[in-house]
Amino acid sequence: MGKINSVKKLTDNKFVNLYGVDATSVHDTPVSYFVASRAKSVEDMKLSTGENHPDGVIIYSVYGEKRDKVVLIRQYRYTIGGYIYEFPAGLVEPGEDFHEGAVREMFEETGLKLEPIKVAEAFEKPYFTTIGMTDESCATVYGYASGEVSKAAQEDSEEIEVVIADRDEVRRILKEERVAIMCAYMLMHFLEDEEVFGFLGGDLNGGSYMAEGDASEGLLSRLGLRRGLASKVPEFC
């Protein structure tokens, strides 16, 4: 296999940095590569640690009494100079369990409360998003959303519209709109599965990371995320 000879940090930003990689290919030819990473230093990069802790979390949640609608966001992204449909998502903070991160991000982006459900590790563990250009990986959290949509906790730097979509709207979105790839795959399951989250297998009724009652509300309290009280720290992800 190829060999990495050296890695150099090329930028010094808060949320993402560019690294230059000098390597030798399996065919003994020189390789100059660039990697975007959430890591703060070369030592923290996944190519250095060999570990795969999630940088972010993606939230696939359903809404409504019949749980027949999916929670999406329509967000302006500078990378494409336009809007794209995605699942609510965001960075996992240092020391934060990604399930808690999902509850926090859901509230910040949509105003909704999230009740994560327990699933097999293979369905939620972090997978790499765009390995050809970044070592970023994201875990996936599935769950049930409730409450009223609000933009009160969104950052001024964000341009997000919350979309509660039924199956007809999902079909239209997939046919006509830009959609992030992980979101698109899950929406195909949403359309085809007779039972929501059916592809996850197992008995999901009552299988929750939250305690009985209004547990997600309690977690939001511990995180300091009451409506209108969320800290206003820009987060680009």
Check: CB of residue 190 under 8 Å from CB of residue 170: yes
Diameter of the chain by CA atoms?
A: 61
With the CA atoms of 126, 55, 162 and 70 taken in that order, what torsion angle do they form, in degrees rounded to the nearest 10? 10
- What is the rounded CA–CA span in Å between residue 103 and residue 88? 10
- What is the rounded CA–CA span in Å between residue 102 and residue 31? 38
pLDDT digits (tens, 9 = 90+) for 159-202: 999 999 999 999 999 999 999 999 999 999 999 988 899 899 86
Strand, helix or coil for residue 9? strand
Q: Which residues make beta-bridge pairs with 60?
A: 142
pTM of the model: 0.85
**% of the chain surpassing 70 pLDDT:** 85
- What is the rounded CA–CA span in Å between residue 124 and residue 117? 10
Domain ranges of the chain: 3-49, 56-223
- Tokens for 165? 């979509």
- Tokens for 197? 């989250």
Task: Output the average pLDDT for the chain.
Answer: 89
pLDDT digits (tens, 9 = 90+) for 22-54: 999 999 999 999 999 999 999 999 999 999 999
pLDDT digits (tens, 9 = 90+) for 114-132: 999 999 999 999 999 999 9
In this predicted structure, the answer to whether residue 213 has a pLDDT above a threshold of 80 is no
Candidate CATH numbers 3.90.79.10, 3.90.420.10, 3.30.360.10, 3.40.50.300; the one for domain 56-223: 3.90.79.10
Q: What phi and psi, each to the nearest 5 degrees, are found at residue 186?
A: -70, -35
What does each C-alpha distance from 235 to 34, 166, 231 come to in angstroms? 23, 29, 11
